[in-house]
Structure 1
Amino acid sequence: MIKDDRDRQFPAGGSRLSLIAIAGLIAGVILIATLIKTGDYSLLCSIAKSRSQPINGFSDMETQLRALVHYATSQITPQQNHDEISVTYDVLRNRNPCNFLVFGLGYDSRMWDALNPQGKTLFLEEDQKWVDEVLKGAPNLHAYAVKYRTQLKEADALMDHYRTQPTCFPSNAYLRGNDKCKLALTGFPEEFYDTEWDLIMIDAPRGYFAEAPGRMAAIFSAAVMARNRKGAGVTHVFLHDVDRKVEKLFATEFLCTRYLVKGVGRLWHFEIPAADKTTGHDDPRFC
Structure 2
Amino acid sequence: MKNNNGNTKLILLHPYIQKQGSSNRLWLLAFISFFTLAFLLTLIYTRESTATTTAATALTATAIGTSSNFNNGALPTTVINTLLHYASKSNDSFHMPYAELKPISDVLRKCSSPCNLLVFGLTHETLLWKALNHNGRTVFIDENRYYAAYIEELHPEIDAYDVHYTTKMKEAKDLMATAKEQIRNECRPVQNLLFSECKLGLNDLPNHVYEVDWDVILVDGPRGDWPDAPGRISPIFTAGVLARSKKGGNAKTHVFVHDFREGLERVYGDEFLCRENLVEETDFLGHYVVEKMDENCFQFCHNKTESATTSSSSSSS
TM-score, normalised with respect to structure 1: 0.71
More helix by share: 2
Alignment partners' CA distance in 1, 2:265 and 2:90 = 30
2:216 equivalent among 191, 195, 199: 199
Amino acid at match of 2:185: T
Deviation string for 1:41-69 (max 9, x for gaps)?
A: 9xx98x946842248xxxx99xx89x959
Partner of 2:18: none
- Report the CA distance shift for 1:283/1:191 in structure 2 as closer, same or farther (over 3 A): closer
The alignment status of 1:126 with 2:128, answered yes or no, reads no
TM-score, normalised with respect to structure 2: 0.65
Please say which structure displays the higher CA radius of gyration: 2
Gaps of 5+ in 1: 1-40
Partner of 1:260: 278
2:247 equivalent among 230, 245, 269: 230
Pairwise CA distance, 1:132: 3.1
Alignment partners' CA distance in 1, 2:258 and 2:69 = 32
Pairwise CA distance, 1:154: 1.1
Partner of 1:84: 100
Partner of 2:268: 250
Partner of 2:185: 167
Pairwise CA distance, 1:191: 2.1
- Report the CA distance shift for 1:233/1:132 in structure 2 as closer, same or farther (over 3 A): same
Q: Check conservation: 1:83, 1:265, Cα contact below 8 A.
A: no
- Once the two structures are superposed, the pairs formed by residues 44-59 of structure 1 within 5 Å of their partners are 48=67, 51-54=70-73
SS of the equivalent of 1:176 reads: helix
Partner of 1:210: 227
Amino acid at match of 1:213: P
| Runs of 4+ with >6 A deviation | none
Alignment partners' CA distance in 2, 1:193 and 1:152 = 25
Gaps of 5+ in 2: 1-59, 305-317
- Once the two structures are superposed, the pairs formed by residues 139-178 of structure 1 within 5 Å of their partners are 139-165=156-182, 166-170=184-188, 173-178=191-196
Amino acid at match of 2:71: S
Number of aligned pairs?
234
Partner of 2:24: none
Pairwise CA distance, 1:158: 0.2
Q: Check conservation: 2:121, 2:222, Cα contact below 8 A.
A: yes
Pairwise CA distance, 1:253: 0.5
- Identity of paired residues, percent? 33
Alignment partners' CA distance in 2, 1:234 and 1:48 = 28
The alignment status of 1:269 with 2:287, answered yes or no, reads yes
Amino acid at match of 2:287: H
The alignment status of 1:93 with 2:93, answered yes or no, reads no
Pairwise CA distance, 1:233: 2.9
Question: Cα RMSD (Å) of the superposition?
Answer: 3.3
Alignment partners' CA distance in 2, 1:216 and 1:274 = 20
Partner of 1:112: 129
